[in-house]
């Protein structure tokens, strides 16, 4: 999702000398393969949009893969880029790197000040290591290696598999299928995890792509920047918004036996705004665009298999 959005944005901005590989074409967990790729292609700038990602269920079910595979991917890219003479590297992480109970909104300086959210600490620890690796290279060697921490992302090419997806695409699929499987005029109920009270912030992936290109074209004074909208809403309000956009009229049931995750994750985006970038897409507009993409691509929506 993220890589394809950045690629589209770069093409739209007139960039032509683009080098990219899918996970099927290049296994970033394989150090030798990554090194061979750098020797052959000799990139001048690297944008690391690769990661093993998923929601609470996936993180809880596959903690080792979420920790180890993300470490392998980013370490191979960062270290090989550094030793290949790459002067600029943009590392993409996630808002989950911040402590579970950090003050809101989340400021960059809150990193490593308290314990993480247990349900996604495996992914978070890997991403923190990537942030620190880029910071160390910047500090020791003066290279322009920066880390952008997006809030929860959604948009075209998202993962809609119900076992591994994040909350927003999962809701889109659940409400859509409940609407499709209506019996007469009565639509199926939709069961959602938790209480619905946690608050979340969401960023349309095309906006993140704009932020990445902005970071690529400008030199930032620091190493870590939050990327988001600076606005959040409850999971319950998110569900009602998606339900309205999809056109589902059945009942919503909240399963309080399932975990809520972090109570709130709102990003302080003032640092990025001072640098000159701000998100443009409203949540409702972004969800509508995402649902339209989902409807057009139902037969090929991404399903992730892990083991």
- Per residue in 169-211, pLDDT (tens digit) is 999 999 999 998 876 667 899 999 999 999 999 999 999 999 9
Q: For each of the domains in the chain, give its residue range(s) and CATH number, in order of start.
A: 2-300 (3.40.50.720)
Please state, in angstroms and rounded to a whole number, the distance separating the CA atoms of residues 202 and 229. Answer: 7
What does the chain come to in residues? 307
Q: Give the pTM.
A: 0.90
93 assigned to a ligand binding site: yes
Give the helix/strand (H/E) hosting 199: strand 199-200
Residue 144's pLDDT is: 97
Q: What angle do the packed helices 167-180 and 235-246 form, to 10 degrees?
A: 40
Residue 107's pLDDT is: 98
Q: What is the mean pLDDT of residues 130-135?
A: 98
200 assigned to a ligand binding site: yes
Q: Which residue is it, tokens 């298999």?
A: 305
Q: Tell how many helices (H) and how many strands (E) occur in the chain.
A: 10, 11
Instruction: Name the catalytic one among 62, 98, 123, 154.
Output: 123
112 assigned to a ligand binding site: no
288 assigned to a ligand binding site: no
Using DSSP's 3-state secondary structure scheme, residue 241 falls into helix
| pLDDT band of 292, cuts 50, 70, 90 | very high
Q: Is 123 a catalytic residue?
A: yes
């Amino acid at each position: 999702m993220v890589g394809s959005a950045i690629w589209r944005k770069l093409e739209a901005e007139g960039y032509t000398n683009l080098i990219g590989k899918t996970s099927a074409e290049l296994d970033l967990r394989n150090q030798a393969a990554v090194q061979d790729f750098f020797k052959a292609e000799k990139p001048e700038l690297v944008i690391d949009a690769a990661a093993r990602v998923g929601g609470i269920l996936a993180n809880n079910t596959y903690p080792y893969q979420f920790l180890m595979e993300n470490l392998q991917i980013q370490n191979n890219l960062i270290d090989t880029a550094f030793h290949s003479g790459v002067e600029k590297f943009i590392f993409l992480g996630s808002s989950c790197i911040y402590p579970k109970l950090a003050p809101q909104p989340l400021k960059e300086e809150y990193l490593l000040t308290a314990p993480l959210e247990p349900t996604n600490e495996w992914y978070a620890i890997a991403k923190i290591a990537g942030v620190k690796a880029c910071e160390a290279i910047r500090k020791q060697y003066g290279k322009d290696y920066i880390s952008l921490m997006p809030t929860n992302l959604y948009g075209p090419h998202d993962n809609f598999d119900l076992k591994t997806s994040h909350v927003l695409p999962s809701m889109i699929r659940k409400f859509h299928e409940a609407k499709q499987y209506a019996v007469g005029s009565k639509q199926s109920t939709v069961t959602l995890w938790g209480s619905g009270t946690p608050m979340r912030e969401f960023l349309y992936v095309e906006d993140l792509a704009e932020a990445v290109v902005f970071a690529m074209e400008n030199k930032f004074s620091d190493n870590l920047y939050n990327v988001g909208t600076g606005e959040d809403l409850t999971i319950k309000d998110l569900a009602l918004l998606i339900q309205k956009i999809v056109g589902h009229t059945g009942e919503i049931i909240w399963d309080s036996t399932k975990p809520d995750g972090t109570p709130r994750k709102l990003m302080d985006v003032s640092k990025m705004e001072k640098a000159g970038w701000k998100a443009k897409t409203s949540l409702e507009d972004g969800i509508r665009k995402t649902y339209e993409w989902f409807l057009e691509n139902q037969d090929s929506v991404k399903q992730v298999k892990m083991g």
